[in-house]
Amino acid sequence: MIRHGHYGRPVLVFPSEGGRAEDFADNGMITAVQWLVDEGRVTFFCVDAFDAGAPSGQSVSVAKSAQDHALYQGWLEQAVVPAMFEILGGRENIITLGASVGAYEAMQFAFQRADLAPLAIGLSGNYDVGTWHAWGQQGAGTYFTNPTDYVASLDEDHLDWLRRRLSILLVCGQGEQEAHPSGALPSTRRFAELLSGKGIAHQLDIWGNDVSHDWPWWGRQLAHHLPRFC
């Protein structure tokens, strides 16, 4: 885990597919909001992806990927978050943040642990793992790693609690690679529809046709939105 900042709202940052904790700073995201760090308004905690350093998941079965992700979720809950709270000097509400595959991770963690992370920010995310490059039969384990599936089935007490607790920000462009091959644009719109139908607090912010699936635009989007949360 890499930390940027010393004070302010904690943000747990997930990299894109196969990424490392250093990718966030290396691609200009800290620079984009450096003033928030300097003013003590935010501290970023960046982690490796669950498939860090691995080739594309195209040859990995859905079931195996779900098993690996369950271990990753456990590592986040049992090691990363406690380390964050120790550094912060106590428990605080976390913002989860990611771009591309990292956006999916931000949503997945927030929905699984809204008690820890009541706000998730997804930039250019595809929230339906069923459309990713994978093969094999989907079972219960894969169902619970696919927000598009399980959000559609939320009901009763747990849904009521999420309505009171969780807020979601979905941001996506309409430029190069946002629709294809990433699937981010249609998935982001679809996920917003699901959230709306379930009454879960969210904001959908679609940027223009010149906004591509890439770090420079994610930096601009972060600088536009993050200040109001910290």
If you average pLDDT over residues 106-129, what whole number do you get?
97
Q: pTM score, two decimals?
A: 0.94
Which of 192-221 are b and which e, b meaning 16 or more Cβ less than 10 Å from the residue's Cβ? bebbeebebebebeebeeebbbbbebbbeb
Q: pLDDT tens digit string along 167-188?
A: 999 999 999 999 999 999 999 9
Question: What are the tens digits of pLDDT across the range 53-83?
Answer: 554 445 567 777 788 888 999 999 999 999 9
Separation CA 128–CA 154 (nearest Å): 16
Class at the top of the CATH hierarchy for domain 2-229: alpha beta
Kindly calculate the radius of gyration of the chain based on its CA atoms and give it in whole angstroms: 16
Cα angle: 43, vertex 46, 51; to 5 degrees: 165
Segment 4-60, tens digit of pLDDT = 999 999 999 999 988 999 999 999 999 999 999 999 999 999 999 987 655 444 556
Is residue 16 exposed (0-12), middle (13-18) or buried (19+ Cβ within 10 Å)?
A: buried
CA distance 130 to 93: 30
Q: Which amino acid is at 209?
A: N
Question: What pLDDT does residue 57 have?
Answer: 47
Q: Residues 21, 46: contact at Cβ < 8 Å?
A: yes
Neighbours of 105 (CB within 10 A): 29
Nearest of 24, 9, 15, 101 to residue 57 by alpha carbon: 101
Contact criterion met (CB below 8 Å) for 1 and 21: yes
Tell me the pLDDT tens digit for each residue of 202-226. 999 999 999 999 999 999 999 999 9
